[in-house]
Structure formats: structure tokens, C-alpha cells
Structure 1
Amino acid sequence: MFFDFDGVLVESNAIKVEAFERLYAGYGPSILARVMDYIDGKEGISRVEKIRHAHEAFLGIHLTEAELGLLAERYSRTVEDAVATCPWVTGARDFLEAHAHRLPLFVVTGTPEGEIRRIAERRAMTGYFRELRGSPPRKPPIVRELLVRHGLAAERAVFIGDALFDHETAHETGLRFIGRVPPGRPSPFPAGTETAADLSDLAERLARPPQTAHA
């Protein structure tokens, strides 16, 4: 099983959105609105890609690698403590506790790898997973690498994500996909995608054949 992290295991998406608001608020309301519209639905894509695009597309600034690194570090300082202490997604911790000993579990996230490992350590999550992987690279090559290295068959694996990019990753790599869509939120996924409000019935879902309609 492959899990995205933010919005799938922990309720941290709002923290990440607020961090982008702080990062771009100084450029004025018009630029901020365009940036926030751009990042909407881009969960699962690394902050580095989003910052690079936002600066180029909306500010006309082509960042050097050093400048990009400084902005990404500023963003990281804003979010890391908050993500390390925010609530779990309902059912996530119970599922990990019950199944980590018998299923190979992985985290594949757009968060930088060093940061996700620190956060997982602070949340006492590390022991649940065979590997915790972050950016770079993007998610599809990470999933392919993990399938090969751990001798796993894609058709027997599932990706749990909350973003369209997670759905695309599962499609590209041949994995079953279950989308997490919180109550009251519109689904970002194509019609017919299997979805769940949280992870409270994940074990039951996995025991069924893949669904062809929204949960």
C-alpha cells in the first residue's frame, strides 16, 4: 500500500495552503489570488515545482536554484512544526497500527524527503512503513522503483491519495486507487473513482473488489 501523506494520513492540507498565502501575501492581492488559484488542486506536487511556476508565471521572475532553495526552506520552516503536531485523518492511525506488521506500507509524498522523515519521526510513524519517500523525484518513478526493489506486483497494490496527481500516479504505475475526499468537499477525481471520506473503513474496502462509483 502506498499512501500520500498530507490530507491522507494527517490533516495538514490547510497548513500547506496557509504557508503559500504567507509566502506570496507581500506581492499584493491580485498576485496572491492567482497563486492560490494555481495551487488549488495541486496537492501531491512538490512545493519546489509550485514555487518555481508561481514566480515565473505570475511574477515574471526566473529563480536561480539558490533562490528557489531559500524560498523552499522558508516554506519548510513555516509548516514543519505544525504538520508534526496536527490531527490524524480519522482511521489512519488505527489502520497503520493494525496492518503494518502484515502489509508492506509506504509513504510517497511531494514533501521533501528529509522533511517527511523528520515529521514521521516526531509523530512516531516511522516504524509503520517499509520506506518513506519524498521529492525529488516525482511520485511515479518513486512508485516504480519501490515496486521493483521490494518485489511487488502493481496489480496487487493500491495508492491512497487526495489529489488528482495521486490518481494520475496510480494510473501511470498500474495501481488501484482510492481517493480521500473529506465530507463536504467536491471530488477532484474523474467520475467513477473509488473515494472515501476518511480511512476508518479502509481494511473493509480493501477486502472488496475495486469499485466503479463514488463511495
Structure 2
Amino acid sequence: MKSSLSNYKLIFWDFDGVIKDSVNVKTEAYLSLFPNIAKETLHRIRNHHLNYGGISRFEKIPLYLEWAGLPSSSFDIKKYLDQFEIFVVQRVIASPWIPGVEEFLKRKPLSQKFVIVTGTPENEILEIIKELNIDMLFDRVYGAPTEKEKAINLTLEEFHIDKESSILIGDSKTDWLAAQSTGIDFLYKESELDEFSKQFKGNKIRDFLGLI
């Protein structure tokens, strides 16, 4: 990793847990979908979500329905996806900023490009960042169903930026794997809830206060 984020031409951003402190919002949303299942299954769902934060709900909800022993037809999955969206959007908007990140984003130099790569559905993340008045700060926004690896490769090709000049800021093993597979640098935004934080030995930050 370069000595400063200002030395990168392109910064990829995860959203939940990196820009907004909204990981708990998503956790509560998943658990609220299954109020009557066994506590052991709820615990399994919670741990899976926290350890695989970068995976989209389109993959998680069918899996959790299977674990809960509930019907998982396309109709059922859509019903749960709709419930999830209703629960999360305004709560994510209202959740706290990761300390220092709002100021960091708004000081973006003209020479640098910012791109969101998130497991949140694309239409939803576009709505959220517009409500937060930060949509104009991002040169591209990728959400589900576009996978992070694909989004990264598409951006590198579109902007003709070298991998060595690009970095992903993420808070999960999924994010790290996306950076690894595409050959770009990675900065881990630590999360006490993520088991990966105990394993990761690379560059990490707790917030953006020292980076403003």
C-alpha cells in the first residue's frame, strides 16, 4: 500500500461499515425477517452476515430461508427482499457516519476518482447517497447484482487506471478477496463485529479522522 490515500488515482469504497456505521442496521433487518425460528438459527444467520458483509442480500436471503426451513420460491424470496428494503433504507440514511469519512469524501481532489462497490442493490444505494447529498462525489456507483470483482475490473478498464494506482477500502473478508482477485491494494476498515479483524494482518484503520 502507498504511504497515503492521496497517492491513489482511484479509490473504491464499500458502503456499510466504511462510509456509514450501518452494519447493525442490516443485521437487525435480517433477524427481523425470521421472528419465529430457533435461536440457534438466528445466531447462525447473524454470524454469517457479519462475517460475509460484502455478500448481497440476493444471495443471503435464499440461504437464510433454507436454514430456517422456510419456503424459498422466487415469490417468497421477493417478499422477503421487499420487507428487507423497507426496513433498511431510512435507517441506513439515519445511521452515524464513520468518524471523519464525510469530511474526507468532501475533500476529494479533482485528480482522484471515487467509486462505490457494495452488495446493496444499485437502485437502493443510489437513493441513499442522493439523500445524503454525496452522490456527486462518486464517479461511478456499483451495487448488486454486479459483483465487486466485476465492478472493479469494469472501472479499471473504463478509466484506464493501473491496478497499482487503485485501492479498495472495505470492512470484510469479501472486500479483501475482491481486492486480491483484481490485483488492487486493500485498506481494511476495522470492525469489532467481524471475525476477519482477528485474522487480517495488513493495513487497517478504525476511522478517517487521521486521514483528513
- Asked if these proteins are the same fold (TM beyond 0.5), I'd say yes
The 3 A distance-change label for structure 1 pair 60 and 185 is closer
2:116 aligns with one of 107, 111, 118: 107
Q: Structure 2: which amino acid aligns with 1:124?
A: N
CA offsets, 1:85-134, max 9 Å, x none?
A: 21111111111111153310010000000000000000001010001110
Q: Is the 8 A contact 2:51 2:194 kept in 1?
A: no
2:3 corresponds to:
none
2:206 corresponds to:
197
CA offsets, 1:153-180, max 9 Å, x none?
A: 1111000000000000000011100000
Q: Structure 1: which amino acid aligns with 2:189?
A: R
Task: Flag structure 1 segments of 5+ consecutive residues without an equivalent.
Answer: 204-215
Q: Structure 1: which amino acid aligns with 2:196?
A: P
Pair 1:83 & 2:92 matched: yes
Superposition deviation, residue 40 in structure 1 = 2.6
Q: CA RMSD, aligned part only?
A: 1.8
Mean CA deviation greater in 7-16 or 21-30: 21-30
1:188 aligns with one of 155, 171, 196: 196
- Partners of 1:74 and 1:100 in 2: CA distance: 39
Superposition deviation, residue 61 in structure 1 = 4.4
- 5 Å-filtered alignment, 1:58-137, equals 58-61=67-70, 63-137=72-146
- Partners of 1:163 and 1:191 in 2: CA distance: 10
How many residues are matched?
201
1:14 aligns with one of 18, 21, 24: 24
Mean CA deviation greater in 153-162 or 184-193: 184-193
1:4 aligns with one of 8, 14, 23: 14
- Partners of 2:118 and 2:39 in 1: CA distance: 30
TM-score of the superposed pair, with normalisation by structure 1: 0.87
Task: Flag structure 2 segments of 5+ consecutive residues without an equivalent.
Answer: 1-10
1:37 corresponds to:
47
Q: Percent identity among equivalent residues?
A: 27
Q: Structure 2: which amino acid aligns with 1:3?
A: W
Give runs of ≥4 in structure 1 deviating > 4 Å: 184-187
Q: Structure 2: which amino acid aligns with 1:178?
A: L
Structure of greater relative contact order (alpha carbons < 8 Å, 6+ residues apart): 2
